[in-house]
Amino acid sequence: MLKQQEKNPQPLSSENLLNLRKERPKNVHPVERDIRTWSKDFLEVPNAKLNGLPPCPYARKAWADDKVVFSINTGLDGLMEEVRKFNDHDYEIVVWAEEDLPDMEYLDGYCDGINELASVAGIDLHLMVFHPDYDATEAGLDFLVDDGVTDDSLSYCMVFVQLLSKLDDAALYLEKSNYYEHFPDDVYEALVLDRRRLRNGNGQS
């Protein structure tokens, strides 16, 4: 029974984790631990193809300021709950992670739909999908492949829930530093310009 519990830890919502922000839990969920490792050993490491910047230049500060919370194995209902209450708290990012993998195209379309609705409704929010079935090399992003950084025994997808305005402000700044120089045109269009159109659509400046 104990082994089964260790293999399938209970779902963790951001509400539960917010109560522990002052005292870091001793038993960190393996998925959370893996994501923290991925951030430290990949997202925060300078990359020559990104003009010497890390893949996520703002990750280290977000961790340091304790502005990241997790929702793990809570299903799509859990994701929607995090979207609903996002503005009720002071964190900057919710990392929703799920080991019961949904189809990549379904999850992508699901989150695209929420992003479109948020834009129409004037809600400053954006969902960004990470799925293990996405082939970065095939997309021309071989310099963003993170082989050997994470635990191969774990398989999970992620959705980052963040403010659309902050994402686009960061992209505007990064564009000036040639951060996106090596991104294929279609990827740049999807990651940056489509997101900016959503922002403009909801009246953000």
Where residue 15 falls among pLDDT bands split at 50, 70, 90?
low
Q: What is the pLDDT of residue 80?
A: 97
What confidence tens digit (pLDDT) does each residue in 80-119 have?
999 999 988 889 999 999 999 999 999 999 999 999 999 9
CA distance 33 to 39: 10
Contact 81, 112 (CB under 8 A): no
Q: What is the pLDDT of residue 9?
A: 53
Where residue 188 falls among pLDDT bands split at 50, 70, 90?
very high
Does position 131 have pLDDT exceeding 60, yes or no?
yes
Q: Tokens 């959503």 appear where?
A: 198
Does position 2 have pLDDT exceeding 50, yes or no?
no
* 17 vs 148: which has the higher pLDDT: 148
Where residue 204 falls among pLDDT bands split at 50, 70, 90?
very low
Q: What is the pLDDT of residue 146?
A: 78
What's the token pair of residue 121?
């409704």
What confidence tens digit (pLDDT) does each residue in 21-47 have?
444 556 899 999 999 999 999 999 999
